[in-house]
Amino acid sequence: MAYWPKQTIVEVADGVVAVLNGDGEIGVSNAACIIEQKRAFVVDTMTFPEMAEGMAREIARRGAHADIVLNTHHHIDHIGGNKVFADARIVGHPSSIGYLQQLGLPVSLYDTLMPQFRGRFQNIELVIPEPAIDQLILPRGGELHVFTPAHTLADLTVWFPETRVLLAGDVSFIGVTPLGVHGLISSWIEALDTLLALKPAVVVPGHGPIGSSQDLLRQRDYLSAIYHLGQRAVKEGVSPQEALASFDASPFADWLEADRTPLNLERAMKEVRGEIHRDNVITSLPNLEDR
C-alpha cells in the first residue's frame, strides 16, 4: 500500500482513550473510546474498517466490548469503520442520518477527494446509524453537546467535566485548516465559544494532534477572520479572490490544507448574502465531501 497513516493510541484520562491517525490530513481523522465496567462507548470509527480494527483490538485488550458507537457527524472519515462494531448500537444525529440516506456512498467522489485511498472506498459497507442520541447515557459522567449546525449540519461533542477532557469531533481541527462547506461559519464560531466556556484542559480534535483550549481559540480566531472578511467582501462587492489578497494567513501558516481557505470564504459570503442559513443548510450543500 502506497499510503497508510500511522495510528497512535493515547489514554488522555482514566478510561478515555484517543485514537489518533496521521497528521489529520484529508481523509485521516481521529476517534476515541471510553471504557467503563467492561463496556466501551466508541466515538467515531474513522475512514476504513482497518483503522477501526486498531481501536477494537485496544478495547479487547482491556477486556471490554463495544456497547455503543456514536457518530459525531455524517462524513465518511468518521463513519467508514462502523461495520467493525456491527454488534454494538450505532447512533447519530437525525439530521446527519437523513443526509447520509440521501448521499449513500459516492465512491468516485471520495476517490477524487482522497486520492491516497483511491480504490478502497468501493469496499466499504456503509452502516448508517440510528437516531437515538436522546436515549444515551454516557460513561464516566460524560455529557453530549449538540451543535446544529457547525462544521456540518449537525455535530456532536462529548465533554467530561471531572477530567476536563473534550472529544470535539470535527468542531475542532488542530494544526489543520478547518472546512466549513457543509455548515455555517457563524454557527461554528458560536459552537467554539460554547466549548471554550467549558475551559477544557485536553481537546481531542477530529483532525490533528491532541491540544487544549488555546487551540480552540486559535481556530475560532481563524473562522472569525474569515467571516469578517466575507462580510467586508460582500459590502464592497469584491470577489473572494480579491478579498483574499488582504487576508493575513501568517498566524495559520503552519496548518495543513491551506487550500480550504478560499472555500471557507465563499461559504461565509453565501451566508452573509442570505443564500444559506440555519433552515437551509441541508438543501444548499455543495457537491463536495469532507476534506
DSSP state of 213: H
Q: How many residues does the chain have?
A: 291
Q: Is the bond into 262 cis (omega within 30 degrees of 0)? A: no
Here the cell at position 146 is: 449538540
Query: Side-chain half-sphere of 112: how many Cα atoms within 13 Å?
Result: 7
Here the cell at position 252 is: 495559520
Q: What residue ranges of the chain have pLDDT lower than 70?
A: 1-2, 282-291
Here the cell at position 87 is: 454488534
Q: Quick check: 158 and 192 in contact, CB under 8 A?
A: no
The tens digit of pLDDT for each residue in 207-251 reads 999 999 999 999 999 999 999 999 999 999 999 999 999 999 999
**CA dist., res. 178 & res. 259, Å (int):** 10
Give the pLDDT of residue 286: 44
Name every residue whose Cβ is closer than 8 Å to that of residue 263 and which is 6 or more positions away in sequence.
Answer: 179, 180, 181, 288
Q: Count Cβ atoms within 10 A of the Cβ of residue 251 and give its class: 0-12 exposed, 13-18 middle, 19 or more buried.
A: exposed
Query: How would you label 208-230 residue by residue, b for 16+ Cβ within 10 Å and e otherwise?
Result: bbbbebebbeebbebbbbbbebb
Own/partner pairs for 104-109, CB < 8 Å, 24+ apart? Answer: 105/76, 106/289, 109/287, 109/289
**CA dist., res. 131 & res. 140, Å (int):** 22
**CA dist., res. 229 & res. 239, Å (int):** 11
Give the pLDDT of residue 288: 45
Give the pLDDT of residue 282: 61
The tens digit of pLDDT for each residue in 258-288 reads 999 999 999 999 999 999 998 888 654 444 4
Here the cell at position 287 is: 457537491
Distances (CA, A) of 126 to 28, 43, 93, 122, 207: 17, 17, 16, 10, 21
Give the pLDDT of residue 1: 47
Domains of the chain by start residue, with CATH: 7-280 (3.60.15.10)
Give the pLDDT of residue 2: 58
DSSP state of 248: -
Here the cell at position 62 is: 482491556
